[in-house]
Amino acid sequence: MSHSCDFEDIMFVKIDEPAPSFDLPAYDPKKDDETQISLESLSGKWVVLFYYPADFTFVCPTELKDMADAKSQFDALGVTVLAASTDTHFSHRAWVKHERLMEGFPYLMLADHNGEVASMYNILDFNSGIAGRGTFVIDPDGIVRVIEVTSGPLGRNSAELIRKIEALQFMRSHPGTACPAKWAVGSKTLTPSMKISGEVFEALK
């Protein structure tokens, strides 16, 4: 795979900065058809870009099944989930049709076949042309709020991802607040200031 582009012209992912733009072909398993999806078309929405290494692998279908099982929770939070890999949309379709764990998969599956987007999101292995396990949460303003990359054999957990999105949405609607470790809906939050420096224990009571 050749990557002879000028790196000064590439926008790389950074936390709390605008997400690198993309416009990719995709497989829509609900319609059993190909489509096209761009980040710009999702402006004003919460987006989870969920990269996995490859179709027809081992840990990947368990992750995508977990994400599919949580669809009602993502819907309740107004989140658009996009699965993505460097496979083609034809491969996505074949995988959905053959892997029983993928039965009823509800999300668009992006086909980043040349790895350009995975490169911008800093998860592309240039030797293999395969993307790593990268999870990116993009807020309605197009700002990246979560970057999580895990080792190849390690599957992710949709429940923890949902907890993070709930916290991000709470902080967005309550400016100036911060969510401490293990925060869940209804838990105590913090208002960072000099007054609680060194006294966080008391602030959480």
| 108-111 sheet: strands from edge to edge | 33-38, 23-28, 108-111, 79-85, 46-51, 133-138, 144-150
Q: How far is CA 84 from the centre of its chain?
A: 9
What stretches of the chain adopt beta strand conformation (E)? 23-28, 33-38, 46-51, 79-85, 108-111, 124-125, 130-131, 133-138, 144-150
Scored b (16 or more CB within 10 A) or e, 16-45 reads: eeebbebebbbbbbeeeeeeebebeebeee
- Asked if residue 6 has pLDDT above 60, the reply is no
pLDDT at 166 over 50: yes
Give φ, ψ of 40 to 5 degrees: -60, -35
pLDDT of residue 205: 85
Positive or negative: CA dihedral 16, 83, 106, 163: negative
Residue 3, pLDDT above cutoff 80: no
The residue extents of the domains of the chain are: 7-157
Q: Which residues are designated catalytic?
A: 60
Mean pLDDT confidence for 154-170: 97
- 7-157 in CATH: which number? 3.40.30.10
List pLDDT tens digits, range 75-101.
999 999 999 999 999 999 999 999 999
Per-chain mean pLDDT for the chain:
94
Over the stretch 26-80, which tens digit does the pLDDT of each residue have? 999 999 999 999 999 999 999 999 999 999 999 999 999 999 999 999 999 999 9
